[in-house]
Amino acid sequence: MSFPSSAGSHRVFALRSGHGAIALEADGLRHPRALRFLGQTVTPYADITHHVLSLRGLRLATRKSVYLFPRSAFVDPRAPDELVRLLMERIAAAPGGAAQLDRMWAVEKLAARRRRPRLGLAVAALCAAVMLAELAFGPLVTLAGFFSAPLVRGGEWWRLVTANFLHAGLGHLLLNAIGLVVIGGLVERALGAARTVPVLAAGALGGMGASVLAGYPHAVGASGVVFGLVGALLWLELRWPDRLPASWRIPRTILIGALVADTLLGLALPAIAGAAHLGGFVAGMAACAGVGGPRLERRSGPAWVWAVNGLAIFGLALAFGAAGAIVVGGAHGLAGRARVLSERADVSPLDLNNLAWMIATDPDASEEDCSVAVELAERAVELTGRQDPNVLDTLAEAEFAAGHPERALRTIDEAIALAPREPYLQEQRRRFAGERAPDDRPDEPEGWIVPEPSPDEPVREEPEDGLRV
């Protein structure tokens, strides 16, 4: 087997068109960066920390990054094998080369000894289980567990935990599940399971804690946890790159580029919870700095790490217990917490409306529960200036459920005056007037009912619900 080379110690391995070449020079390895347009760089031999040679190609870890060289990129697919052989010879012949090879061997043993990661998969599975619970129990699960800054300030602390496991659809869940499994796997391999739990907990609380500071009316999703793992991975990459096997690392250009892209996307799309991402990232990085260290070969941390693990598990069980009690309690469980909302100045009319509707339409709701629904709906109507037919319809439904059909008729007439051509509202009136059976509720319209404007008033669009992911 022959390779193009120049005289002396300079050896060149040709790459296919557009990729340049890899050269063994006197002082270091000249090679392409992670991306073509970034050109080439020279890595001193002393900075090489580990390598993984496989049928797919070569992963070369250095103090600055990890570089991926697939066999398909070489003119001769056997070239990576010869490159590694010559590279090890150069390192061995350099001053301090024997010690460097010993360190590389220690990293290799760490890669072989670490168990398969499971925590990220476990968290993703719990998120999937919560979505199945939503399908089984309906929107009551979301109402009991979603994040809302006013609700958290009102004492519903468990939402800082449970909101991390709720998602706005299957696509949102799959995206976060991939992050949990892939990024979580890399962090868990480096830290071990015991020291990864504090990172997961910090990402969850940091993300939702930042959402409280940002005042988000609604937020769901494990994005804060994922970004906590990203923060931990970046800390390991910047602080202990020489202790990490090449297969546990992501090229820095990709890692940092993804963070920049997410920041720009968060600025462009209001639905992305940028504060939660940032809070999770900072908290995860700080947690990793606290539990991580140069002795990555340890599978567990000091006693306080196990104490944090115990607190995290206890807090998770307590939070799910609090939210589960509301779900099991149905309308009564919601009503028991909901009255606090109507007394808060920072409450969202959408929160009030949704809670009132859930209570009023629950067939097991008591008269007292329905009275709470009326209070919530009246406050929502007040906050919307009696100009939203959707909220007026909720108030009418609550009044009807509470045994006041005459009040329900007056309220639904207000809604009809705002949207006179909406068939759903007309059928609601027939039901309240006794022309339909009390339990024969008409099918709800597919979208938000938009009031018909007066000739000199602009058309009002459907309001955003403020859900951030």
Picking from 177, 153, 155, 151, the residue whose alpha carbon sits closest to that of residue 164 is: 177
Q: Which among 277, 342, 371, 404 is annotated as catalytic?
A: 277
β-bridge partners, 51:
60
Picking from 183, 177, 149, 180, the residue whose alpha carbon sits closest to that of residue 163 is: 149
Strand locations in 154-307 (E): 218-219
Written as one letter, the residue type at 442 is P
> Longest C-alpha distance within the chain, in Å?
99
Encode 316-334 in three state secondary structure: HHHHHHHHHHHHHHHHHHH
3-state secondary structure of 450: coil
First and final C-alpha spacing in the chain = 54
Size of the chain in residues? 469
Please report how the helices 405-418 and 389-401 are oriented relative to each other, as an axis angle in degrees rounded to 10. Answer: 170
Q: CA-to-CA distance for 352 and 340, rounded, in angstroms?
A: 11
∠ CA 281-285-287 to the nearest 5 degrees? 120
- 226 with 203: CB under 8 angstroms? yes
**DSSP label at 216?**
-
- Distances, alpha carbon 412 to alpha carbons 161, 390, 419, in Å: 38, 10, 10
3-state secondary structure of 384: coil
Residue 206, number of CB atoms within 10 A of its CB: 28
Task: Tell me the DSSP string of 78-113.
Answer: THHHHHHHHHHHHHHHSTTHHHHHHHHHHHHHHHHH
Q: Which among 148, 211, 223, 342 is annotated as catalytic?
A: 223
- 110 with 296: CB under 8 angstroms? yes
**DSSP label at 167?**
-
In the residue annotation, 223 being an active-site residue is answered as yes
Beginning with the edge strand found earlier in the chain, give each strand of the sheet holding 66-70 in spatial order: 48-53, 57-62, 66-70
∠ CA 142-146-150 to the nearest 5 degrees? 135
- 288 with 199: CB under 8 angstroms? yes
Strand locations in 122-222 (E): 218-219
Burial of 325 (0-12, 13-18, 19+ CB in 10 A): middle
3-state secondary structure of 359: helix
Catalogue the active-site residues: 223, 277
